[in-house]
Amino acid sequence: MSNLKEFLALLRPYKKQVFFTILAILIANLLGLAFPWVIKIVIDEILPKKNIFLLNTLAIALILVFILKFYFGYLREYLISLIGENVVCDLRNKLYWHLQRLSVRYIENNPTGKIISGVIGDVESIRNFLFGGVVDFIYSFFNVFFVLVILFILDWRLTLISLLYLPAFGLAFFKFTPRLKKKHEFIRNKYAELTSRLNEVFNGIRIVSGFAKEEYEANEFNFKQKEIFKASMGSHKLGILLWMSSEFVSSLGLVTLIWLGAKAVFSGRISTGTLMAFYSYLGMLFFPIIKMVIINNYYQEAAASLERINKVLTEEPKIKEAKHAISLDSIKGNIKFEDVSFGYDNNKEVLSEINLEVKESEVVALVGKSGAGKTTLLNLLLRFYDTTKGDIFIDGYNLKGLELKSYRSKIAMVLQDDYLFSGTVKENIIYGKLGASKDDIIKVARLANAHQFIMELPDGYDTQIGERGIKLSYGQRQRISIARAILRDPAILILDEATSSVDSETERLIIEQAFEKLMSGRTTLMVAHRLSTITHADKIVFIEGGKIAETGGHFQLLDRKGSYWKMWLEQVRATNCKLQSRSYTLESKDFKTGSLNI
């Protein structure tokens, strides 16, 4: 019953259309019941008396009935299509918007395929039910009601006998229905797992191919397919059993009624025309009942889907805005971390008692070993997560009291493997500031050292770059990301390992020059693994074990000979070893070609 209420709630915004749909169904239903009664009149009145006038009148009336039935049938189907499409669109938008409001942790902790399956598969299941199931159910319900009324008018004794078989049918219906629902829920979950795996395999196709795991993935896919096949066949068996049971019951009833109906004609209790009309209406009774059984199958599938959707919709966002959140028109970029601690679970802290102040237009570099908590600190600043203890202040305002949209609109970020969307170069740059002019796009592309390579692409700024920008090199993707960030004109800039994957010296210099333009005049927090890229920072913060171990300028930290100095020494040695190895390789090559005088 609760599921039925939820389906009705989906239709509530379209009450007017629903009313006219039900009216159209009602009229079309009544018009469809006229034909058997016409047969009764033909057999009992027209044929014995050869009444041509009545025959002509009936024929004209029947044509008019069919025309009206066509009109109201068309109106019914059009209205239900209109309602169904609107409901599905509303539901998808509601689900999609809610998913975006949920915390980053929720999206990261749930497989992408499962989320996609909910937005597409579950909503599609509801769509199928709304388009076919609901209309057919209402139509069948009215049909059963009106047919029963007519049957009682024709002969109440035969009608009561025909209803004796319905309890057996109802018993089978209520026995198998819960099992059908469970099976549909299981199948939908397995489809979500399959979608998730497909998404992972295609996103990681280079790894799959590189490790020659095509056969392994094909076997895994086949295994999951067999699970779905087995569950689907179980569902089909139950559905077929219900269908055949209802058909068997109706067949028994029909045999009984043929025998009793013939005896009633022999006794003169009813006419031949009445018996023929009774049989015709009886056929109209059992078919809608059988159809309602089939519709139940769609309903159980849709109900399982709606439960999963509601489970997502009732998930509360972990990051909530204050009731009277402050919307800032502008941000200077003063940041203060005050006794900030954070843990992904209650048992272990990732960051502990962080106290850090970043002044307007200051460049602060966060360094330390992997897992020290550098990126987590940036995630807290973006308010992807909330602090476990302590507070973060922006220009003196508590971050938790700020309106998220207005705050994040003043921030831009460039990540190690920054995300580009499928589409054109222009569309990806303009994502930083929708509605920017062509001149603005070219200007920021030049500042990002991207304009030249963009103009060399087949269609320039209108070149399709593929999913995640797969058609571009890493360096090209990074420069487009930088252009996107510059166009946003942020007050606070976040750089997370933004140059660590660049190997080419020329490429690195081009990108670092672009970063210098991007950082100019902005409060910048940057995470860097390669210390040589952050020597210019106003302040370097060394994080170790979730705590700030050292703070200072590059030369100050070297003089202290602490953790930063040790990491710097390790990287210098590693660089020297690479240079020596490269020099030795060149000398060996020259020796072999005889170019060195030894």
Nearest to 360 by CA among 329, 387, 386, 336: 336
| pLDDT score, position 596 | 34
pLDDT tens profile 417-429: 677 888 889 988 9
- Domains of the chain (ranges plus CATH)? 2-313 (1.20.1560.10), 335-563 (3.40.50.300)
Mean pLDDT of 518-539: 84
Residue in the block written with tokens 């106290």: 355
Checking if the pLDDT of 381 tops 70, the result is: yes
| pLDDT score, position 584 | 43
Checking if the pLDDT of 264 tops 60, the result is: yes
> What tokens does 464 get?
């399709």
| pLDDT score, position 114 | 67
Mean pLDDT of 462-480: 84
Mean pLDDT of 344-356: 83
Checking if the pLDDT of 247 tops 90, the result is: no
| pLDDT score, position 588 | 44
| pLDDT score, position 477 | 86
| pLDDT score, position 334 | 92
pLDDT tens profile 214-226: 777 778 778 877 8
pLDDT, averaged across the chain = 78
Mean pLDDT of 34-50: 82
Q: Give the Cα separation of 275 and 264 in Å (integer).
A: 9
Checking if the pLDDT of 542 tops 90, the result is: yes
CA distances from 147 to 156, 159, 236, 264, 329 (A): 12, 10, 30, 20, 68
Mean pLDDT of 535-552: 90
| pLDDT score, position 502 | 57
Checking if the pLDDT of 569 tops 80, the result is: yes
Q: Give the Cα separation of 275 and 258 in Å (integer).
A: 9
Question: What is the share, in percent, of the chain residues with pLDDT greater than 70?
Answer: 80
pTM: 0.65
Checking if the pLDDT of 336 tops 90, the result is: yes
Checking if the pLDDT of 23 tops 60, the result is: yes
| pLDDT score, position 586 | 43
Checking if the pLDDT of 59 tops 50, the result is: yes
Backbone angles phi, psi at 582, to 5 degrees: -65, -40
Select the more confidently predicted residue: 392 or 34. 392
Crossing angle, helix 438-447 and helix 505-519, to 10 degrees? 120
pLDDT-based confidence at 393, cuts 50/70/90? very high
| pLDDT score, position 373 | 85
Checking if the pLDDT of 585 tops 50, the result is: no
Mean pLDDT of 228-243: 75
| pLDDT score, position 358 | 92
Checking if the pLDDT of 391 tops 80, the result is: yes
Q: Which contacts of 156-161 are long-range, i.e. CB under 8 A and separated by 24 or more positions? A: 157/264, 158/257, 158/260, 158/261, 158/264, 158/278, 161/253, 161/256, 161/257, 161/260
Question: What is the share, in percent, of the chain residues with pLDDT greater than 90?
Answer: 9
| pLDDT score, position 595 | 37
Give the lowest-confidence range in 62-76, 223-237, 461-475, 551-565: 223-237
3-state secondary structure 477-522: HHHHHHHHHHHHCCCEEEEECCCCCCCCHHHHHHHHHHHHHHHCCC
Select the more confidently predicted residue: 256 or 381. 381
pLDDT tens profile 158-216: 777 777 766 666 666 666 666 666 776 777 777 777 777 776 676 666 566 665 667 77
Q: Which contacts of 449-457 are long-range, i.e. CB under 8 A and separated by 24 or more positions? A: 449/479, 449/510, 449/511, 449/513, 449/514, 450/476, 450/479, 450/480, 450/482, 450/483, 450/514, 453/479, 454/425, 454/480, 457/425
| pLDDT score, position 398 | 93
Q: Give the Cα separation of 331 and 415 in Å (integer).
A: 22
Inter-residue contact 186 to 231 (CB < 8 Å): yes
| pLDDT score, position 126 | 78
DSSP for 406-425 reads HHHTTEEEEETT----SSBH
Mean pLDDT of 248-260: 70
Mean pLDDT of 477-484: 86
